[in-house]
Amino acid sequence: MNAHAELLRRATSDNELADAILKNYKTAPISPREMVMLDYAAQLTEDATKITPETHETLRSVGFDDTAILQITLGKTQFDNSFVFNNGIFQLLIRIEVLARDLKVRK
């Protein structure tokens, strides 16, 4: 979450707003447009199979065109995939470190 926090602080240039969004974006002082975007991003992570044409229509109703919706989707999924990849590598490195330590102990 620290990486998310730092990225959000830089993007908003507002530490209090960043903290409010990180704590609970639903209660943060953001615009209705930003709320719809964050609801969509959350749905992509929670269960993308529940996204419907109505979901995209809601995004359009607050000013996002199809290009913007695609950009939000690609950005969010890229971020999620990077997190999964990085976490997988981190777990692998921990395992390699443990194995290397075990091998040293056996020598």
Q: What is the CA radius of gyration of the chain?
A: 19
> What pTM, to 2 d.p., does this model score?
0.69
Q: Which two three-digit tokens encode residue 51?
A: 């996204």
pLDDT digits (tens, 9 = 90+) for 55-67: 999 999 999 999 9
Residue reference for tokens 């996204």: 51
Q: What is the pLDDT of residue 75?
A: 85
Average of pLDDT values for 13-33? 93
Does the structure show a pLDDT above 60 at 10? yes
User: Cβ distance 64 to 37 under 8 Å?
Assistant: yes
User: Cβ distance 67 to 77 under 8 Å?
Assistant: no
Average of pLDDT values for 43-48? 89
Report which secondary-structure segment, H or E, holds 2.
helix 2-12
Q: How confident is the model at residue 8 (pLDDT cuts 50, 70, 90)?
A: confident
Percent helix, percent strand, percent coil in the chain, to nearest 5? 85, 0, 15
Sign for the pseudo-dihedral over CA of 2, 28, 46, 56:
negative
Chain Cα centroid distance, residue 77: 8
DSSP-derived secondary structure letter, 86 = H
